Structure 1
Amino acid sequence: MDPLEIIEKYYSDKARLKEVLIKHSSAVAKKALEIAKKFKDVDKDFIYSAAMLHDIGIIFTYIPKLNPEGKYPYIAHGYLGRMLLEKEGLPKHALVCERHIGVGITKEEIVKKKLPLPERDMVPITLEEKIIAFADKFFSKHPDGSVREKSVDEIINDLRNYGEEKVEIFKAWLKLFEGGENG
């Protein structure tokens, strides 16, 4: 399965959005694969393809400078990507889409904050899902297509906006992924 073929299928008439998506996803995939080297029993091919497809749902979301005709709020790109990849017959990749936002979103948060999401847990469960969600925190999508790696402090400051428990999850991932199985 070539993730770029799937991206092309949905983004063929959205050149700028496709370019930004591919640059961002490539940076996430590269970082995720670097992390994956520290673990024996992870599926590196899956990590690459899932990292390349994790944000495919942005095609449906409103992004002022990139996708002004998008109909859904940006936070919905995870579950929308899940629906798209399930139709493509990629259920494991679909779950990465849904579960990668932030360090995960619980059903309780969705209900309490009245988020425009289906009421279910959207939290990374497998090691591969956690690696991709972690790697994704380091890169934002910029309308000019540039990719810059954020510092750990920048990520922590961003996550603080969503609660100290999010920061603690990220710090636990940081410890896990800095050391890996051998660390």
Structure 2
Amino acid sequence: MNPLALIDKYYPEENELKYILLVHSRSVADKALAMAGKHPELDLDVQFVEEAAMLHDIGIFMTDAEGIQCFGKYPYICHGYLGAELLRKEGYPRHALVCERHTGAGITLRNIEEQQLPIPHREMVPVSLEEQLICFSDKFFSKTKLDKEKSIEKARKSVARFGEDGGLRFDHWCELFL
């Protein structure tokens, strides 16, 4: 599979949004691959990690996030499940799970219900080690400061708004992947 061909399909124009998506996704992929390389004992599927990391945010164009040039109709938090729907239609169900489960440090059904989030009511927490690695790597990069990697402290703070479960998962990933 060629993740760049799929990105080109849904982002046909060379514009600021596509640039943001590509730079952010490449940063996430590179960090995930570097961590995978430090942990051969985990026997991670590195080809899948690279592909899925490049595609994890493919759904952002359908959301409304003016600061990163997204002018769609859905709230930004929907980008994960929307991207997952695209990738399922394209025949990539395993990649779709990364899209759906990467937001925050994953979002539990309980958090979705308690916070009344406008996303499907189901568990959206990374399960496979590859999903966890990509989700973890994503926490170190924003789409508004493309040139900066966040510190561990700032990355952990970024998951705090999704509940303490996310912080616990983040701490586990620090132990597992760093």
Please indicate the TM-score interval, normalised by the length of the shorter structure.
over 0.9
TM-score, normalised to structure 1, is 0.91
8 Å Cα contact 1:111/1:119 also seen in 2: yes
8 Å CA contact 1:103–1:166 kept in 2: the answer is yes
Question: 1:39 maps to which residue?
Answer: 40
Partner of 1:89: 91
Structure 1 range deviating more: 154-163 or 169-178: 154-163
- Structure 2 residues without counterparts, runs of 5 or longer: none
Alpha-carbon distance in structure 2 between the residues aligned to 1:34 and 1:165: 26
How far off is 1:167 after superposition? Answer: 1.5
Instruction: For residue 122 of structure 1, give the secondary structure of its aligned residue in structure 2.
Output: coil
CA distance in 1, matches of 2:130, 2:73: 30
1:169 positional shift: 1.3
User: What is the 5 A alignment of 1:39-118?
Assistant: 39-40=40-41, 41-118=43-120
Kept after mapping to 2: 8 A contact 1:138/1:155: yes
User: TM-score of the superposition, structure 2-length normalised?
Assistant: 0.94
Instruction: Give yes or no for the alignment of 1:167 onto 2:167.
Output: yes
Distance 1:65 1:163 in 2: 25
Structure 2: distance between partners of 1:53 and 1:162? 22
CA-to-partner distance for each residue in 1:142-182, whole Å, 9 max, x for gaps?
A: 2xx7331000111222333333332221111100112xxxx
- Residue 72 of structure 1 aligns with an amino acid whose one-letter code is Y
The residue type paired with residue 155 of structure 2 is: I
Runs of 4+ in 1 over 4 A off after TM superposition: none
Alpha-carbon deviation of 1:63? 1.2
CA distance in 1, matches of 2:56, 2:113: 24
Deviations 1:35-74 (A, max 9, x none): 1111342110000000000000001001113335310011
Of 164-173 and 120-129, the range deviating more from structure 2: 164-173
Q: After the TM superposition, which of the residue ranges 160-169 and 25-34 deviates more from structure 2?
A: 160-169
Distance 1:98 1:130 in 2: 12
C-alpha contact 1:24 1:147 (8 A) present in aligned 2: no
Structure 1 vs Structure 2: percent identity of aligned residues? 50
Match of 2:121 among 119, 128, 131: 119
Contact 1:141 1:147 survives alignment (8 Å): no
SS of match in other structure, 2:13? coil
Query: How many pairs align?
Result: 176
Instruction: Give the equivalent residue in structure 2 for 1:29.
Output: 29
Query: Structure 1: where are the runs of 5+ without partners?
Result: 179-183
Q: Which amino acid aligns with 1:170?
A: F
Whether the 8 Å CA contact 1:57–1:78 is kept in 2: the answer is yes
C-alpha contact 2:28 2:134 (8 A) present in aligned 1: yes
1:141 matched residue in structure 2: 143
Q: Secondary structure at the match of 1:62?
A: strand
Taking only aligned residues, the RMSD between alpha carbons, in angstroms, comes to 1.4
